[in-house]
């Protein structure tokens, strides 16, 4: 009943949202007149509001028609071919199913676009393409949102009346005052410091950060929001909208295979249970008690996807050294009869404890004395005490008992007995740089090996007024000198002092230098240091560290302790701790399993070295992973049903489930109605048969044809060829997916992942997307604002590396203008009377343009294959249209060739189909009248490209703006001060002088550069200038010249040619151009005269003495060289009207 209700609700939601998107309901957010005007593409006149979206609306109409056509033809629904069917290959790509706790936004769309473009490209090439998409509902995100909404409505009413900004600020100030009061006395503050800004900033976050506000911004009516207190309501509401919005974007998804996770879907639930039974049987899942990042509010470990902040953060292990207070005096007197009192100092270097000279606290820091085990009392911060209580180091889990509140100043001067210290008594001293959000707030001082400790102790010794300020007596400080503990070859046994003196660190204020010294001291001490004290003298410090820690723990002189490496906030809004938890773990990091997974990584395409390095790094640190939870949504651990499987662990091989989902769920993402196969029939043995090629169970109730069909689907589609994802998932999901594949299919490397392609995050107009700042856009909003194709264009242009990409709204608007102008041009040239030239292409301009089309085909294909979609867009849209515009100008009054124009339209339509499928479909069918769909029309065939011709053509196109500038300068006479206005003149004739080849020292320079050129990197050897100068000095043309003169003449030319070679390659270093420059100019003489508006244009060789002598305006033809001719212009007065 629950599943049927979810499905019915999802259907009604989808229809309602479709009404919103098609305009029969009010829009999600009103569009101001300013925003409406911004819809007009750049370069268009600012029309009135009603007419400003005509171009965009044209694309939306084309989009709707194309999507209706695709839906009717079921073009994205694809099955494994029947035996004997002609097959051109398959492509199976996936995107991690998104969490269904909100609408899909442009960040989702950016990553999905990478998969969508790749799938569309391979579909265009004739492959069977499978792009399925499920939706993730497992774990805490949905439950946390529902719980947050419940709290808001319980606390503030329905609808909620949240506090105003002023009320929040007042409450924050009251809380700050309460926090600053200790033991009934207000803490003294520096009156010059203002401490209220942070609380006010937090207070001004307003209602946008509330769950109510977030749902309201998502377009949900206020009357409907209370229903979201039920987590299952989210499952029925958001997945259909995600499907709707991805369809609006034009994604080629086979929606028959869509599903939601959790036990609300019994088929997927059965699949995950089988996966875990398989891992359990293989010994990959064990039960153990280990430290894990833990949400006290949720009462369970907080995995990466259960976190609002702190993804990837793990526990940091410390040793807490128990420093016993000898005399309980002053503020410590109330503890005299409670038990032994210890200051707990957190350290990462227990091997250095022999060198302790004192203990540090933060004078204004807030501390407490907490009841410990065995009648002991521990002094530390409240935060660290809470962590300890979850690690079985305090009497009551989660409830540290504070016996006495203290400040650091209360502790200064306390005499201590420190484990392993040479001094029988050391004292508590002030340190102003202690971070109270790290460790326990108590720090032991080892000045021989810690630069921070050395400088701080030196400051106290040298500055009597500093001691006086904090009430420090001389005898607590002055007698204590450095105690050598570790000898480092080349640095001695006082590394902190050596580094501080070397770096000239004068005080604790030299923070940057101290950070450098600390890093060097720790690294060298740990890797090269040799212990020189204690029973482990002679051992390497790295070896002694663990031994000394174990000894301190065994003797009761220390306690184990862990806390999150950085702050972690759960989705429930609480700061997490580290807790010792008894749960199920997947044994990632196991040596043999890790080796197999590294082998899978070696055979997998990652598309960048950065991604591969990130995978290798993750494989190096990822160890046992807690895979069980007590609360949330999901699948029960099959052998221990008190636990749920956490959200990252049920998401590692579900790509295999896509291959059979449509057969099991019959196209219903909720599996509300069970068809020919019942969930209970999907036993472990049946899953083994489908995925592991084991024999079908003898008592299987599933019809044999259906079993065979499921096996056929899996065997055809698997492995997946591509998985796209944000780079942040390398540290968990993607690496875990590799691990699970190499375990479940350990003997089938052919079923391991084919490739994983990762990208950075998406910025919106160069700023981070944020709902609170308003710089945020959902996928549906973007499609409504710009159309699907303009959105896809801007996504393709946003970037293809692992750096953060940038979605520019100006690019989307420009795409609207570009596409609609192109449509208008196509309609114009295909209409009768367009002035096109009939017959076969025959002219030089025809050949150049045809060659440009072939090169665009090749370059675009190469870009799609490399998944460099910005490069594909450049080649298919920008470069090819530039070639078309140049061709149109070159043809002049004769007109363009009809065959070539039609070929250009067909090719550009096909090349852009993966990025702008709706517009391409319209051109293909409605304008070109081609049969079928452009989506599967086949990759266009290219003629053999002539790159020399391309270079020659570019030479001509570059020549025109260069000569225009020269002509402009020639026609602008210099006006002398006080003189009359010179008569206007115009250039009527030009003579271009061409050099056939580089000669003399230029030729020698090029030969030397070619020798130093490195093709792999398009760079030069480090000593390239030395090679060039040496070669040129030996040339006869430089005989008798000094080295300075040689460099002055040669190096500017060499640098210029080197820059050119970096751009275009080795050909820039040739002594002759690969084409006849003189003949090329003569062949394009008419085109150049039209473009430059010249009456006469002559071309001659620089060696033609007669041509040079005949010039009216002489020029130095010796400065001409290949690719850079010299031009002389003839001017005559402009006739006066």
Q: Give the C-alpha separation, 538 to 1120, whole Å.
A: 75
Q: Give the C-alpha separation, 727 to 490, whole Å.
A: 41
> Within 13 Å and on the Cβ side, how many CA atoms surround 376?
19
Predicted TM-score of the model (pTM)? 0.81
Confidence of residue 40 (pLDDT cuts 50, 70, 90): very low
pLDDT at 43 over 50: no
pLDDT at 180 over 50: no
Q: Give the C-alpha separation, 413 to 419, whole Å.
A: 18
Torsion 41-47-53-59 (CA) sign: negative
3-state secondary structure at position 478:
coil
Q: What's the mean per-residue pLDDT of the chain?
A: 90
Opening angle at CA 77, ends 120 and 928, nearest 5: 50
**Residue-level pLDDT at 772:** 76
pLDDT at 305 over 90: no
Please answer whether residues 323 and 417 qualify as being in contact, where contact means their C-beta atoms are separated by less than 8 angstroms. Answer: yes
Mean pLDDT of 1061-1067: 87
**Residue-level pLDDT at 679:** 96
pLDDT at 190 over 60: no
* pLDDT tens, residue by residue, 1086-1118: 999 999 999 999 999 999 999 999 888 889 998
Please answer whether residues 301 and 313 qualify as being in contact, where contact means their C-beta atoms are separated by less than 8 angstroms. Answer: no
Judging by DSSP bridges, how do beta strands 805-807 and 762-764 pair with one another?
Answer: parallel
Helices (H) and strands (E) in the chain, counts: 38, 34
**Residue-level pLDDT at 177:** 56
302 or 249: whose pLDDT is higher? 249
Instruction: Identify the burial level of 663 via C-beta atoms within 10 angstroms of its C-beta, where 0-12 means exposed, 13-18 middle and 19 or more buried.
Output: buried
Q: Give the C-alpha separation, 497 to 503, whole Å.
A: 10
**Residue-level pLDDT at 172:** 67
Mean pLDDT of 715-722: 98
* pLDDT tens, residue by residue, 845-901: 999 999 999 999 999 999 999 999 999 999 999 999 999 999 999 999 999 999 999
* pLDDT tens, residue by residue, 338-354: 999 999 999 999 999 99
pLDDT at 35 over 80: no
Mean pLDDT of 534-538: 95
**Residue-level pLDDT at 174:** 67
DSSP 128-177: EEE----BB--BSHHHHHHHHHHHHHHHHTTTT-PPPHHHHHHHHHHHHH
Q: Which of 189-198, 463-472, 762-771 bottoms out in mean pLDDT, i.e. has the lowest?
A: 189-198
Judging by DSSP bridges, how do beta strands 315-325 and 415-417 pair with one another?
Answer: antiparallel
User: Which residue carries 């002053």 as its tokens?
Assistant: 330
pLDDT at 5 over 60: no
Confidence of residue 1060 (pLDDT cuts 50, 70, 90): confident
Neighbour tally for 87: CB within 10 Å: 13
Confidence of residue 27 (pLDDT cuts 50, 70, 90): very low
Percent over 90 (pLDDT), the chain: 79
175 or 232: whose pLDDT is higher? 232
* Strand positions, DSSP E, 357-411: 358-361, 366-371, 376-380, 402-407
**Residue-level pLDDT at 17:** 43
pLDDT at 726 over 50: yes
Mean pLDDT of 187-197: 35
**Residue-level pLDDT at 144:** 85
* pLDDT tens, residue by residue, 915-936: 999 999 999 999 999 999 999 9
Please answer whether residues 723 and 95 qualify as being in contact, where contact means their C-beta atoms are separated by less than 8 angstroms. Answer: yes
pLDDT at 25 over 70: no
Confidence of residue 187 (pLDDT cuts 50, 70, 90): very low
976 or 798: whose pLDDT is higher? 798
Q: Give the C-alpha separation, 279 to 281, whole Å.
A: 5
Provide the edge-to-edge strand list for the sheet that holds 805-807. 767-768, 762-764, 805-807
Neighbour tally for 128: CB within 10 Å: 19
pLDDT at 226 over 90: yes
Helix axes 880-891, 947-970, angle to 10 degrees: 60
Four-point Cα dihedral 60, 61, 63, 68, nearest 10:
140
**Residue-level pLDDT at 1136:** 67
What pairs with residue 757 in β-bridges? 724
Instruction: Say which residues have a Cβ less than 8 Å from residue 1111's Cβ, sequence separation at least 6.
Output: 991, 1128
Q: Which one, of 614, 603, 615, lies nearest residue 737 by Cα?
A: 615
* pLDDT tens, residue by residue, 62-81: 999 999 999 999 999 999 99
Q: Which of 297-311, 393-407, 415-429, 672-686 bottoms out in mean pLDDT, i.e. has the lowest?
A: 297-311
**Residue-level pLDDT at 530:** 95
**Residue-level pLDDT at 176:** 55
Confidence of residue 549 (pLDDT cuts 50, 70, 90): very high
**Residue-level pLDDT at 1137:** 57
């Amino acid at each position: 009943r629950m599943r049927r209700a979810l499905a019915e609700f999802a259907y009604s939601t989808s229809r309602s949202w479709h009404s919103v998107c098609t305009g029969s309901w009010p829009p999600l957010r009103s569009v101001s007149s300013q925003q409406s005007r911004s819809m007009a593409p750049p370069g268009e006149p600012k029309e009135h509001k009603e007419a400003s979206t005509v171009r965009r609306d044209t694309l939306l109409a084309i989009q709707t028609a194309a999507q209706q056509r695709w839906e009717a033809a079921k073009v994205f629904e694809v099955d494994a071919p029947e035996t004997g069917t002609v097959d051109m290959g398959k492509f199976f790509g996936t995107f991690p199913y998104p969490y269904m706790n909100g609408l899909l936004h442009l960040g989702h769309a950016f990553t999905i676009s990478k998969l969508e473009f790749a799938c569309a490209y391979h579909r265009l090439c004739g492959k069977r393409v499978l792009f399925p998409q499920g939706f993730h509902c497992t774990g805490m995100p949905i439950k946390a949102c529902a719980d947050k909404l419940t709290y808001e409505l319980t606390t503030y009413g329905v609808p909620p009346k949240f506090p105003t900004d002023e009320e929040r600020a007042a409450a924050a100030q009251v809380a700050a005052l309460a926090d600053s009061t200790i033991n009934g006395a207000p803490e003294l503050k520096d009156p010059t410091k203002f401490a209220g800004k942070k609380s006010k900033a937090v207070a001004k976050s307003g209602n946008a950060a509330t769950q109510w506000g977030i749902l309201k911004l998502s377009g949900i009516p206020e009357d409907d929001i209370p229903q979201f207190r039920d987590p299952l309501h989210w499952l029925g509401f958001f997945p259909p909208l995600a499907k709707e919005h991805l369809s609006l974007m034009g994604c080629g998804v086979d929606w028959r295979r869509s599903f939601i996770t959790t036990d609300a879907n019994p088929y997927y639930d059965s699949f995950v249970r089988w996966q875990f039974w398989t891992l359990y049987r293989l010994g990959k899942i064990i039960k153990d008690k280990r430290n894990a990042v833990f949400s006290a509010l949720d009462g369970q470990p907080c995995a990466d996807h259960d976190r609002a902040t702190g993804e990837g953060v793990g526990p940091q292990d410390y040793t807490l050294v128990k420093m016993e207070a000898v005399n309980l005096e002053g503020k410590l007197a109330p503890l005299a009869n409670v038990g032994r009192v210890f200051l707990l100092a957190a350290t990462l270097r227990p091997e250095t404890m022999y060198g302790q000279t004192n203990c540090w606290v933060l004078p204004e820091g807030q501390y407490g004395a907490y009841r410990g085990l065995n009648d002991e009392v521990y002094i530390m911060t409240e935060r660290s005490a809470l962590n300890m209580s979850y690690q079985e180091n305090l009497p009551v889990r989660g409830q540290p008992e504070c016996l006495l509140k203290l400040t650091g100043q209360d502790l200064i001067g306390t005499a201590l007995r420190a484990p392993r210290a040479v001094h029988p008594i050391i004292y508590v001293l002030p340190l102003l740089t202690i971070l109270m959000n790290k460790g326990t707030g108590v720090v032991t001082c080892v000045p021989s090996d810690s630069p921070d400790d050395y400088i701080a102790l030196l400051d106290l010794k040298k500055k009597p007024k500093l001691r006086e300020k904090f009430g420090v007596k001389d005898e607590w400080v002055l007698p204590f000198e450095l105690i050598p503990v570790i000898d480092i070859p080349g640095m001695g046994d006082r590394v902190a002092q050596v580094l501080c003196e070397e770096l000239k660190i004068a005080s604790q204020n030299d923070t940057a230098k101290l950070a450098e010294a600390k890093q060097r001291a720790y690294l060298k001490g740990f890797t090269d240091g040799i212990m020189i004290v204690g029973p482990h003298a002679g051992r390497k410090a790295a070896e002694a560290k663990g031994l000394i820690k174990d000894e301190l723990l065994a003797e009761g002189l220390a306690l184990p302790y862990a806390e999150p490496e950085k702050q972690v906030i759960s989705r429930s809004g609480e700061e997490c701790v580290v807790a010792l938890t008894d749960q199920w773990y997947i044994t990632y990091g196991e040596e043999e399993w890790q080796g197999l997974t590294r082998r899978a990584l070696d055979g997998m395409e990652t598309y960048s070295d950065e991604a591969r390095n990130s995978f290798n790094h993750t494989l190096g640190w990822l160890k046992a992973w807690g895979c069980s939870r007590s609360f949330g949504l999901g699948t029960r651990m099959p052998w221990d049903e008190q636990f749920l499987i956490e959200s990252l662990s049920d998401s590692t091989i579900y790509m295999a489930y896509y291959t059979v989902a449509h057969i099991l769920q019959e196209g219903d993402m909720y599996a509300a109605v069970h068809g020919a196969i019942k969930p209970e029939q999907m036993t472990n043995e049946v899953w083994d048969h489908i995925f592991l090629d084991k024999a079908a169970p003898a008592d299987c109730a599933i019809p044999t044809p259906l079993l065979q069909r499921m096996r056929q689907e899996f065997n055809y589609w698997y492995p997946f060829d591509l998985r796209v994802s944000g780079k942040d998932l390398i540290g968990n999901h993607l690496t875990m997916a590799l691990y699970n594949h190499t375990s479940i299919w350990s003997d089938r490397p052919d079923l391991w992942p084919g490739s994983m392609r990762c990208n950075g995050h998406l910025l919106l107009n160069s700023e981070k997307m944020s709902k609170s700042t308003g710089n945020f856009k959902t996928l549906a909003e973007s499609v409504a604002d710009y159309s699907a194709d303009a959105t896809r264009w801007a996504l393709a242009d946003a970037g293809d590396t692992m750096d953060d990409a940038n979605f520019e709204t100006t690019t989307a608007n420009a795409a609207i203008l570009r596409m609609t102008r192109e449509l208008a041009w196509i309609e114009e040239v295909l209409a009768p009377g367009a002035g096109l030239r009939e017959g076969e292409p025959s002219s030089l301009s025809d050949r150049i343009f045809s060659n440009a089309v072939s090169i665009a085909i090749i370059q675009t294909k190469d870009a799609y294959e490399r998944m460099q979609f910005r490069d594909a867009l450049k080649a298919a849209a920008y470069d090819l249209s530039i070639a078309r515009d140049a061709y149109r100008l070159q043809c002049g009054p004769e007109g363009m060739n009809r065959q070539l124009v039609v070929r250009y339209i067909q090719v550009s339509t096909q090349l852009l189909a993966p990025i702008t499928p709706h517009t391409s479909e319209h051109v293909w069918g409605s304008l070109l009248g081609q049969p079928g769909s452009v989506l599967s029309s086949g990759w266009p065939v290219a003629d053999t490209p002539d790159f020399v011709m391309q270079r020659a053509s570019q030479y001509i196109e570059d020549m025109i703006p260069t000569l225009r500038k020269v002509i402009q300068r020639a026609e602008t006479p210099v006006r002398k001060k006080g003189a009359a206005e010179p008569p206007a003149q115009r250039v009527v004739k030009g003579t271009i002088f061409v050099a056939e080849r580089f000669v003399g020292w230029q030729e020698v320079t090029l030969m030397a550069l070619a020798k130093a050129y490195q093709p792999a990197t398009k760079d030069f050897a480090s000593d390239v200038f030395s090679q060039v100068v040496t070669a040129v000095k030996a040339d006869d043309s430089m005989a008798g010249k000094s080295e300075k003169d040689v460099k002055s003449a040669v190096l500017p030319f060499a640098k210029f040619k080197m820059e050119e070679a970096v751009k275009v390659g080795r050909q820039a270093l040739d002594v002759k151009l690969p084409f006849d420059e003189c003949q090329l100019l003569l062949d394009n003489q008419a085109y150049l005269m039209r473009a430059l508006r010249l009456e006469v244009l002559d071309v001659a060789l620089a060696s033609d003495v007669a041509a040079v002598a005949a010039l009216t305006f002489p020029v130095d033809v010796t400065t001409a060289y290949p690719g850079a001719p010299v031009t002389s212009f003839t001017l005559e007065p402009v006739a006066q009207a």
